Amino acid sequence: MGNMCFSGNRDRVDRKKTDNPATPSKTETLSTAEAPSTTEAPSTTEAPSTTEAPSTTEAPATTETPAKPARPAKSNKHGNVIVIKNAKGLENKLNEAKAAGKIIVVDFTATWCSPCRTMSPIFAKLSKEYSDMVFLEVDVDKVQDVTAKYEVLAMPTFLFIKDGKQVERLVGANDELGKKCKHYSTTHVSV
């Protein structure tokens, strides 16, 4: 095992097992009932609050979409990595990849984890190199239900998922990630 960070997630995993003894195995896909709320942070483009009543010419806040689908991150920093923001986003990507016959590589990461920051550019490079695979990033602190479902206790943790089932797990910052991508890839594109 390489360098890694440990999470306080063990309590969430243990609590989930205790609360629900019929918890699905870690290789099962998420059901729609497990999707978290889609509450979004307030938009940063709103005018600052004042004591005056709001102008009637401003667009009402209800024109925003309540939940944004997972989108590819900026290609200059994250390659073709798609940032997952909730369980429903992951479920959608799992279903899309399964229908297309693609392998998914999920990076469970944390902003405070130094080995995660080390692996991030490597993961982004691999996402460009192996275009036949789907690369997803899950922040363990922001998407805790997915983190607990896959029993992630250390970061970075990389999961390889094929046909909705976990086929490989790598824990820590190590050079096996590139080897595993090559192993599971059907098309290798040099970058």
| Residues near 185 by beta carbon (within 8 Å), at least 6 away in sequence | 103, 130, 132, 133
pLDDT digits (tens, 9 = 90+) for 48-86: 444 444 444 444 444 444 444 455 444 445 689 999 999
Residue 77 has a pLDDT of 55
CATH 1.20.1370.20 fits 1-15+87-191, yes or no: no
Written in H, E and C, the secondary structure of the chain is: CCECEECCHHHHHHHHHHHCCCCCCCCCCCCHHHCCCCCCCCCCCCCCCCCCCCCCCCCCHHHCCCCCCCCECCHHHHCCEEEECCHHHHHHHHHHHHHHCCEEEEEEECCCCHHHHHHHHHHHHHHHHCCCEEEEEEECCCCHHHHHHCCCCEECEEEEEECCEEEEEEECECCHHHHHHHHHCCCCCCC
Q: What is the mean pLDDT of residues 26-30?
A: 37
Q: What is the mean pLDDT of residues 12-39?
A: 41
Supply the pTM of this predicted model: 0.63
pLDDT digits (tens, 9 = 90+) for 118-139: 999 999 999 999 999 999 999 9
Task: Please answer whether residues 114 and 55 qualify as being in contact, where contact means their C-beta atoms are separated by less than 8 angstroms.
Answer: no
Which SS3 state, helix, strand or coil, does residue 12 take? helix
Determine whether 116 is an active site residue: yes
pLDDT digits (tens, 9 = 90+) for 135-190: 999 999 999 999 999 999 999 999 999 999 999 999 999 889 999 999 999 755 55
Kindly indicate the confidence band of residue 46, based on its pLDDT and cuts at 50, 70 and 90. very low
Kindly indicate the confidence band of residue 30, based on its pLDDT and cuts at 50, 70 and 90. very low
Domain ranges within the chain, ordered by starting residue: 1-15+87-191
Q: What single DSSP character describes residue 62?
A: G
Residue 8 has a pLDDT of 57
* Active-site position among 90, 110, 116, 136: 116
* Active-site position among 35, 81, 110, 113: 113
Which residue from 137, 144, 135, 133 is spatially nearest to 84, judged by alpha carbons? 137
